[in-house]
Amino acid sequence: MKETIMISDARCKDCYRCVRYCPVKAIGIRDGQARVVDDKCILCGNCVKTCPQNAKSAHSQFDQFLNFLKEGKRVVVSIAPSYLAATPYSSPWKLVAGLKYLGVFRIEETAVGAELISDYYKDIYKENEQKHVPVISSCCPTIVDGIKKYYPTLTRYLAKVISPMIAHGKMIKNRYDDEHTRVVFLGPCYSKMDELEETKDSVDAVINFKEVTNYFKHIGLDIEGLKPAYPDITSKRGRVYPLEGGVMHVSGINQTIKHGVVSLSGLDECMDLFKDLQNGLLTPHFIESLACKGGCVGGPEMANDLGVSVRRERLCRFMDEYHSSEQVSKEEKQGIDLSREHQPIDLKMNMPSHEKLKEILALTGKHQELDETNCGGCGYSSCREKAIAVYQGLAEVDMCIPYMREKAESLSNAVVECTDNIIIIVDEQLRIQEFNPAANQLFNQNKLNPKGEHLSRFIESSDFRKVWESGKTLKQYKEYPHYDLITKQRIYPLKDYGVIIGIFINVTKEERKKHEINEMKHEALNRASSVIREQMRVAQEIAGLLGESTAETKATLLELIEIMRKKESTTYDD
């Protein structure tokens, strides 16, 4: 199957919501990222609708539709009857007007094709009523795909008739038998794109209501300002097709349990019925099943936020408002092959042995049946279902929420138990909730059981009270002389949890070492100062003696010079 649902890795946030809501578990998880397993997917759209991060989207053929218009093709839109309740506009005719504005050649209701195949359904019902063989309607491609993949033994009960979309597409192609015409189906469904892959000869592209209304916003088109327009061909009977029970109503099949008919919508309900049918617990003559709750009006790409009941009421309100004068001729209906064959699909999913299953369960601490909580947090309905998915490569071991929580708590407890730091946790009444071994060793000399006791029985508690009242973290050094202890403390409040946490680091040795070093420095400074003072005194004394000696030497030298001068003067006189 072609990839239809795409996932943005950047937005996918490891929540497993899509796994939880996927009825066939066609979501795989790898490295915390979801991925759609295309072979298993039945394109119900649940994963797209329920994704809280909008990380999933469907493959779009809307650009192809726009290209048809740009190329000047004769574009005929086959519009699903759910359009009567699909948009946020004041009336469905505004949607038709918008399509005409874009340049669509003709707009016809797909319900025309529904009328055609309904006659076929009526004949099948009458035939199988005599044979006591059930018939399952094949209008909904999600249901058809689901049966072929997950209830293959029921494939033989699927009505061998094409869907209204394919029937109408063939009618249009018969009318405009040329290369210039393009048929585009417009509806609320993803699985129609998969159906398109099987029958490209009748429909050229599939688009949905949200894409159309979003495009109108994108180009700034004032839809409400447009004059209402109407489909070129409408259906008188087929407009109820998107409602639960619509197929039987249009086909003229008596809708009572007494007559062996069942009409239901919603995948969970349908799958429950298929299980019962497969197990031989039911023997209805005709089963009308639609994947979306309430029918096609509950489709994933309806372009408003209305509830299914409101949409149903809206569709019924507009159902008789307008009918075209132009109708499909008998000639157009004749010669169309409505038959279709269904073959079961083998998914070929490997199953683990009993021993392998036990081994996988043990990886998440499930060694006996009592350990299997079946909480559904991983998205699977049971621990064993998830273990099978792990074996098949669709799930990861650490998707088990209780196991990961227990693992995190064990790791957290191990850190608290093994750390040399003192960890004290008290409630707002300052009653001890946690007193780790380091705290016990240093503050619990009487070997009391500290849990539930007031903190003041062990240490002075005013700092904790101050932190709770102020709501601010306290960082400080604090000495406990009674315990011969010096600590570096960080005390902070967790108001949301109603506790105060104190983390103390025993810095007694470091602080005493620091004190000793400071004392040594102080003593060294004192000694240095004393030496300097003594040196200054000696220097001053030496300087004084040197000064006196220098003066005497100078006087002696001057006397000597004077004597020498006198002697020289006497010599010259002689």
| b/e map 431-457, b = 16+ CB within 10 Å | ebbbbbebbbebbbeeeeebeebebee
pTM: 0.74
**Angle at Cα 291 formed by Cα 345 and Cα 107, nearest 5°?**
105
pLDDT tens digits, 1-20: 567 899 998 888 778 999 99
DSSP three-state, residue 547: helix
| b/e map 134-167, b = 16+ CB within 10 Å | bbbbbbbbbbbbbbbbbbbebbebbbebbbbbbb
Q: Is the pLDDT of residue 470 over 80?
A: yes
Average pLDDT over residues 84-110: 96
DSSP three-state, residue 424: strand
Average pLDDT over residues 344-357: 92
**What is the pLDDT, as a whole number, of residue 277?**
94
CA dihedral angle for residue 204, residue 206, residue 211, residue 217, rounded to 10 degrees: 30
Residue 535, CA distances (Å) to 522, 530, 545, 550 in order: 20, 9, 15, 22
CA dihedral angle for residue 444, residue 449, residue 454, residue 459, rounded to 10 degrees: 0
Question: What DSSP letter does each residue of 10-47 carry, written as one string?
Answer: TT--S--HHHHH-TT--EEEETTEEEE-TTT-----HH
Task: List the structure tokens of 283.
Answer: 């023997």
**What is the pLDDT, as a whole number, of residue 473?**
94
- Contact predicate 379/19, CB 8 Å: yes
In this structure, of 34-48, 96-110, 271-285, 529-543, the range with the lowest mean pLDDT score is 529-543
- Which residues neighbour 4 within 8 Å (Cβ) at sequence distance 6 or greater? 36, 38, 41, 43, 58, 59, 190, 193, 194
Amino acid letter, 408: A
Residue 7, CA distances (Å) to 13, 43, 55, 253 in order: 11, 14, 6, 42
Average pLDDT over residues 331-335: 73
**530 or 286: which leads in pLDDT:** 286
- Which residues neighbour 534 within 8 Å (Cβ) at sequence distance 6 or greater? none
**169 or 327: which leads in pLDDT:** 169
**What is the pLDDT, as a whole number, of residue 272?**
95
Amino acid letter, 128: N
How far apart are alpha carbons 350 and 188 in whole angstroms? 34
pLDDT tens digits, 369-426: 898 999 988 999 999 999 999 999 999 998 988 888 777 777 777 777 888 899 999 9
DSSP three-state, residue 566: helix
Residue 258's pLDDT band, with cuts at 50, 70 and 90, is low
Task: List the structure tokens of 13.
Answer: 């946030």
**540 or 492: which leads in pLDDT:** 492
How far apart are alpha carbons 51 and 561 in whole angstroms? 116
Structure-token match 């003192």, residue found: 422
Q: What are phi and psi of 421, to 5 degrees?
A: -75, 150
pLDDT tens digits, 473-508: 999 999 999 888 999 999 999 998 899 999 999 999
Distance of alpha carbon 434 from its chain centroid, rounded?
Answer: 35
CATH number of 354-405: 1.10.15
pLDDT tens digits, 422-468: 999 999 999 999 999 999 988 988 888 999 999 999 999 999 999 99
The helix (run of H) or strand (run of E) holding residue 488 is strand 485-494
Average pLDDT over residues 345-365: 92
How many CB atoms lie under 10 A from the CB of residue 13? 14
Strand positions, DSSP E, 324-431? 422-427
Task: List the structure tokens of 468.
Answer: 């709770």
pLDDT tens digits, 260-273: 789 999 999 999 99
**What is the pLDDT, as a whole number, of residue 432?**
93
How far apart are alpha carbons 248 and 111 in whole angstroms? 14
Q: Is the pLDDT of residue 124 over 90?
A: no
For the chain, what percent of residues have pLDDT higher than 90? 60
pLDDT tens digits, 191-235: 998 888 777 789 999 999 999 999 999 999 999 999 999 999 999
How far apart are alpha carbons 197 and 43 in whole angstroms? 13
Q: What is the CATH class of 421-506?
A: alpha beta
DSSP three-state, residue 255: coil
Averaged pLDDT of the chain:
89
How far apart are alpha carbons 163 and 287 in whole angstroms? 15
1-59 maps to CATH 3.40.50.300: no
How far apart are alpha carbons 95 and 67 in whole angstroms? 20
Domain ranges of the chain: 1-59, 60-333, 354-405, 421-506
Q: In this structure, what DSSP letter does residue 439 have?
A: H
Q: What are phi and psi of 92, to 5 degrees?
A: -65, -20
In this structure, of 132-136, 389-393, 544-548, 564-568, the range with the lowest mean pLDDT score is 564-568
**103 or 194: which leads in pLDDT:** 103
Residue 377, CA distances (Å) to 164, 400, 402 in order: 40, 7, 8
Q: What are 494's strand-pairing partners?
A: 499
**What is the pLDDT, as a whole number, of residue 572?**
46
How far apart are alpha carbons 426 and 23 in whole angstroms? 46
